[in-house]
Amino acid sequence: MKSLITAVLVAGVALWTMVEAGATLGAGTDVALPEQGTPPEPLVIVVNRMNPVDDLSFADLRSIFLGSRSYWNNGKRITVVMREPGEQERRVILHDVCGMDEEQFKTHFLRGLYTGEILVSPKTLDTPVGVRKFIFNVPGAIGYLRESDVDPTVKVVRVDERLPWDKGYRLRVP
Amino acid sequence: MASRHNIRLLLIVCTGTAVIGGIVIRDLQDANVETQEHYRRSVHGLQRIGELQYDIQETRRATLYALTTSDSNLQVVYADQSRDADKRVRDAIAEYENQSKEPAETAVARRLAEDWSKYLAVRDEVLASILEGSIKDAVSLDLSNGVPAFDCVRKDLDTVKHLYDQDAAGRQASLAASSRRSVTRLIGILCFTFLLSSIAVWNIQRSYMSGTIQLARLQMEFVASVSHELRTPLAVLMSAADNIADGLVEGKAALQKYGAILRHQSRSIGDLVDQILLFASTEDSKGNYAPERLEVGTLLAEIVSGTDELMRKAGAVLDVRIDGNLPLIIGNRTGISQCMQNLIGNAVKYGGDDPRIEIRAFLAPGREGSEMVVRVAVTDHGIGIDPSEIPRIFDPFYRSPRVRAAQIHGTGLGLSLAKRIAEAMGGWISVTSELARGSTFTLNMPIGRGGETKAENLQTSPSPS
């Protein structure tokens, strides 16, 4: 009898443990699924519509966003437009293009401006609309937008000969 | 007659006044519409020019505001404001060009559009420099190119305003001219109305006066005629009375002769007085003649027999013919008798040298041909009536100048009296006449509804009655 009771208790504890374990597993699955199901959105490099540039390499982008290159081939001065620090799009550019974090980026520009290696620091705008309008007004401006924020007032350029919707496009916002 | 004339004049005046009033109201309405249109165009034009001026300034102001900050977000907002104002300016210039009618307006609209495009090109460069952070470049560019380009735009705008002022002055002058025309027209119309009214009042007054004068003249003629008619028998009476009083009349036969003269002249005076009284009493004679059904033949026989003495004295020959089966007429025995005596008396009086007088009674259609009437026509072969006088012979106291010249005595009341009596009985008197050939006066009497007849055919052969 005693052994029977013990067996039943053991079985009950085991069952409870299994149920608890199953519930925890189920909850973890629910959280993870949306992250796995939402594909990252392309981050589009945009310039003024009057700018003749159609294609930029990753190296070009890096030299432009880091201020090493100040002029376009047509002689227009390059003006880089960034989003506010902390924005996802800015993080992607800093990480994927510049290979820096926020602090390194700031330090790089402080040093460059101080030494005269860099002529102007990037312009910072609060919203995608602001970025778009800035680029529309300034012929030498270059910036980045989520694909959903792009409209005909700006021109989309290829990166390493790939358009944002092409397979293999590297710049994506989670 | 006079009152019909007056009514016609009043109608003319009323119609004229209504037409003129309509013209005046129309004129005032047109002037009002023109004024409103002028006001609307002026206000709209000034508003549009004011808006254009404001938007041009706003375009530049917003651009320059972008210079005052280093915040790129704010600079983008100012750039947006400048572009919005610029779009409104371009729309306004296009509207002005579309609405321009004069070549000068079209030319200045095109020049303004061109100069504005030139300024916008500079403005875009200035904005780009500001957003890039090249403030010095932006200011330099604006001073070197922006200010002159904007001055050109401002001059164009001044030209637009000047042309608008000219157009407004032209419209103002046109409005003033139109207003002057309206006032002149109004004064003319008022003068015309006043003149027309004066003529109408003058005519009415004249017709009233002429009617009064005519009545007074007829009354004077009547008094003279009556006096003359009374004086003749009175003279005879006085003469006969003097002869008797002076003892110049001796013997029974002479006295009988004088007595007969006195009786005849007294009767003449009495008859004349009776006729005057009868005329006065028939002024409103509707109720004086109670209608009754009368048999024409019998009635005419009585009337004819009553004129025996008159016929005999005048030597007239009466021919009476009455159609058979005539219906009974509706009339008054006394009234018909008075009418017929007057008509027969006139036939004798104006029969001239031809003694024949015919009386015919027959059935004929009425005035409008709807109901039958009995007509009793009295025809003489005497002096006749001038056609121009026929409309007046039934007027009271009227006597033809020709009759007066021929010294045919009368009061001018006979026909008027007969007409009044006939109408009081529901009948009427008609006349046909030919100068120097004679006249026919016809008494038309309505017949009874049942159309009762009495078989009788009274035909009297020509014979002195």
pLDDT tens digit sequence for A134-150: 999 999 999 999 999 99
Alpha helix segments (H runs only) across B133-251 = 135-141, 147-245
For residue B65, the domain's CATH number is 1.20.120.1730
Residue from B288, B286, B357 nearest B320 by CA: B357
CB of B69 closer than 8 Å to CB of B76: no
Count of C-beta atoms within a 10 Å radius of residue A6: 10
pLDDT band of A38, cuts 50, 70, 90? low
Which of A66-75, A96-105, B238-247 is predicted least confidently? B238-247
Q: Are B393 and B317 found together in one domain?
A: yes
Q: Tell me which residue range forms the domain holding A6.
A: 1-38
Tokens of B225: 């005629």
Q: Are B225 and B365 found together in one domain?
A: no
Q: Are A13 and A81 found together in one domain?
A: no
Residue A152 has pLDDT above 90, yes or no: yes
| Per-residue b or e along B148-170, where b marks 16 or more CB atoms closer than 10 Å to that residue's CB | ebbebbbebbebbbebbeebeee
- 8 Å CB contact of B76 and A133: yes
Q: Nearest Cβ partner of B73 from A77, A125, A137?
A: A125
| pLDDT at res. B148 | 95
| pLDDT at res. B453 | 57
Beta partners for B227?
Answer: none
Q: Are A45 and A34 found together in one domain?
A: no
Residue A4 has pLDDT above 60, yes or no: no
Please tell me whether the interface predicted TM-score (ipTM) of this complex is above 0.90. Answer: no
What rounded mean pLDDT belongs to chain A? 82
Q: Tell me which residue range forms the domain holding B411.
A: 290-463
| pLDDT at res. A27 | 34
Q: Are B267 and B179 found together in one domain?
A: no
- Residue A54, by phi and psi: left (phi above 0), alpha (psi -120 to 50) or beta? alpha
pLDDT band of A31, cuts 50, 70, 90? very low
Q: Are A63 and A99 found together in one domain?
A: yes
Q: What is the pLDDT of residues B311-337, one digit of tens each?
A: 888 888 899 999 988 899 999 988 899
For residue B254, the domain's CATH number is 1.10.287.130
Residues of chain B with pLDDT under 70: 1-6, 225, 283-287, 369-370, 449-465
For residue A51, the domain's CATH number is 3.40.190.10
Beta partners for B374?
Answer: B363, B445
Q: Nearest Cβ partner of B128 from A125, A126, A138?
A: A138
Q: Where does residue B408 rank: exposed (0-12), middle (13-18), buried (19+ CB within 10 A)?
A: middle
pTM score of the predicted model? 0.52
CA distance B115 to B121: 10
- 8 Å CB contact of A130 and B73: yes
Q: What is the pLDDT of residues B75-85, one digit of tens each?
A: 999 999 999 99
Judge whether B212 lies within some domain: no
- Residue B318, by phi and psi: left (phi above 0), alpha (psi -120 to 50) or beta? beta
Q: Are B102 and B150 found together in one domain?
A: yes
| pLDDT at res. B4 | 67
| Per-residue b or e along B37-75, where b marks 16 or more CB atoms closer than 10 Å to that residue's CB | ebeeeeeebeebbeebbebbebbbebbbbbbeeeebbeb
Judge whether B206 lies within some domain: no
Q: Are A137 and A91 found together in one domain?
A: yes
Interface of B with A in 27-46 (CB under 8 A): none
Residue of chain B nearest A142, judged by CA positions: B132
Please list every residue in chain B whose beta carbon sits closer than 8 Å to the beta carbon of residue A127.
73
Residue from B403, B374, B389 nearest B431 by CA: B389
- 8 Å CB contact of A137 and B133: no
Local structure of B322: helix, strand or coil: strand
